[in-house]
């Protein structure tokens, strides 16, 4: 049965431009994308010894084989699933806007935000459930606390368990935790003679001796439908620390990856590898999402459908650590 839905290259381009805006989402910081030409396949999983199990070399005798590198990994499988959502653009609603195309862009923006919130929730659930963790002894909103000492202890566990060191690490904190650290007396005293203004993410990264600090400021509604609105930070009252490597190399250890099927909206070829219509507009690379459009006369609306084939996977679980109870 043929479908009337057709790929909309203009809205797909706009969609992927929205997707490229960080907007306080941190899923990509923990699970960087890996462009997968196959919808499903095997990938390497790194154990505790993957980074430190280096063969000891001895002089090679003439006519004997050379020592060969064997990465100590196991295999698991990914399967990029389609997270599809539709947004109707009714004719009656379209007439409220100055130009014909305004409503379509707003609907695409809603599709993107919905996809990203759901991806953020998946990333949070996966990252916090499968990671080494500890509860902070003195919460960071207590002046006597020692944020650096807590993070240093987590860094050392990661180094001992995976071989990953500070400059490969990313720290994810919620906005309330970020605001608290900006005025923590130990940090204020440390930077008062060297840096003017409020502490930012770069200064915090230098303080903790890591590559990057990322602030997650998005929230979600926690009330049931029809009840009084209540909201909470998606990343709650924790800090996540872990090693992140964005290289398109399955043999490079990193805490997690997002496998994104690149061929769902275009044919795979030697030249394109399965890239979509937004490649040129976004500076190259596969589309993160595709927008298809069809007409539904029963509701007098153009229907915009967002398709995204992804799966988040933990690659090296010992390269991550969760600090609980940051603010008590």
Residue-wise pLDDT tens digits, 22-70: 788 999 999 998 988 888 999 989 877 655 566 677 787 787 888 776 6
Measured between alpha carbons, how far is 66 from 172 in angstroms, rounded to an integer?
A: 43
Residue-wise pLDDT tens digits, 255-301: 999 998 876 644 433 344 344 444 444 444 456 788 889 999 999 99
Span 86-93, average pLDDT? 95
- The average confidence (pLDDT) of the chain is 85
- The pLDDT score that the predictor gives to residue 277 is 44
- The pLDDT score that the predictor gives to residue 2 is 53
Span 180-189, average pLDDT? 91
CA angle 152, 180, 119 (to 5 degrees): 80
- The pLDDT score that the predictor gives to residue 5 is 82
- The pLDDT score that the predictor gives to residue 50 is 59
Measured between alpha carbons, how far is 320 from 328 in angstroms, rounded to an integer?
A: 22
CA quadruple 172, 178, 183, 185: dihedral positive or negative? negative
Q: Does residue 29 contact residue 256 with C-beta atoms inside 8 Å?
A: no
pLDDT tops 70 at residue 315: yes
- Give me 321's structure tokens: 């650590």
| Greatest pairwise CA separation for the chain in angstroms | 83
Percent of the chain at pLDDT exceeding 70:
87
Alpha helices in 164-277 (DSSP H): 175-182, 185-191, 201-208
- Binning pLDDT at 50, 70 and 90, where does residue 182 land? very high
- The pLDDT score that the predictor gives to residue 10 is 83
Q: What number of other Cβ atoms are within 10 A of residue 139's Cβ?
A: 18
pLDDT tops 90 at residue 212: yes
Span 218-230, average pLDDT? 83
Burial pattern 172-186, b for ≥16 Cβ within 10 A else e, equals: bbbebbbebbeebeb
* Of residues 167, 248, 174, 176, the one with CA closest to residue 209: 167
Residue-wise pLDDT tens digits, 6-18: 888 888 878 877 7
- The pLDDT score that the predictor gives to residue 192 is 78
Domain map (residue ranges) of the chain: 6-50+71-134+145-324
Measured between alpha carbons, how far is 15 from 1 in angstroms, rounded to an integer?
A: 28
Distance of CA 232 to the CA centre of its chain: 19
Give pTM, 2 decimals: 0.85
Which of residues 173 and 198 earns the better pLDDT score?
173
* Of residues 173, 249, 253, 248, the one with CA closest to residue 210: 173
Number of H helices, E strands in the chain: 8, 17
Measured between alpha carbons, how far is 41 from 47 in angstroms, rounded to an integer?
A: 19
Domain 6-50+71-134+145-324 annotated CATH 3.90.1690.10: yes
Span 150-161, average pLDDT? 95
- The pLDDT score that the predictor gives to residue 30 is 95
Which of residues 179 and 67 earns the better pLDDT score?
179
- The pLDDT score that the predictor gives to residue 273 is 38
- The pLDDT score that the predictor gives to residue 221 is 81
- The pLDDT score that the predictor gives to residue 269 is 38
Q: What number of other Cβ atoms are within 10 A of residue 145's Cβ?
A: 21
Alpha helices in 90-236 (DSSP H): 91-94, 102-129, 147-162, 175-182, 185-191, 201-208
- The pLDDT score that the predictor gives to residue 184 is 93
Residues ≥6 apart with Cβ < 8 Å to 173? 181, 213, 214, 215, 216, 235, 239, 326
- Binning pLDDT at 50, 70 and 90, where does residue 234 land? very high
């Amino acid at each position: 049965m043929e479908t009337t839905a057709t790929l909309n290259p203009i809205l797909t381009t706009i969609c992927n431009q929205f997707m490229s805006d960080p907007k306080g989402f941190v899923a990509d910081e923990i699970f960087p994308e890996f462009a997968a030409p196959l919808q499903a396949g095997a990938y390497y999983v790194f154990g505790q010894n993957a980074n430190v199990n280096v063969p000891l070399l001895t002089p090679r005798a003439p006519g004997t084989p050379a020592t060969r590198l064997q990465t100590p990994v196991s295999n698991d499988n990914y399967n990029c699933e389609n997270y599809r959502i539709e947004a109707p653009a009714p004719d009656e609603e379209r007439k409220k806007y100055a130009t014909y195309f305004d409503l379509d862009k707003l609907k695409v923006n809603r599709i993107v935000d919905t996809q990203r919130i759901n991806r953020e929730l998946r990333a949070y659930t996966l990252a916090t459930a499968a990671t080494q963790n500890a509860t902070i002894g003195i919460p960071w909103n207590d002046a006597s606390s020692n944020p650096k000492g807590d993070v240093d202890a987590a860094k050392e566990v990661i180094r001992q368990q995976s071989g990953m060191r500070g400059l490969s690490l990313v720290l994810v904190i919620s906005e309330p935790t970020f605001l608290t650290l900006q005025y923590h007396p130990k940090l204020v005293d440390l930077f008062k003679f060297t840096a003017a203004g409020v502490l930012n993410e770069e200064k915090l990264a230098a303080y903790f001796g890591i590559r990057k600090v990322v602030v997650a400021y998005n929230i979600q509604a926690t009330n049931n439908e029809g009840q009084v609105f209540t909201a909470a930070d998606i990343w709650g009252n924790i800090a996540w620390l872990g090693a992140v490597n964005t290289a398109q190399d399955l043999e490079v250890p990193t805490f997690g990856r997002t496998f994104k099927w690149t061929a769902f909206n275009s044919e795979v070829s030697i030249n394109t590898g399965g890239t979509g219509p937004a490649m040129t507009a976004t500076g190259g690379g596969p589309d993160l999402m595709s927008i298809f459009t069809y007409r539904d006369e029963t509701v007098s609306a153009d229907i915009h459908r967002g398709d995204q084939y992804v799966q988040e996977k933990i690659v090296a679980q010992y390269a991550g650590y969760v600090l609980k109870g940051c603010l008590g």
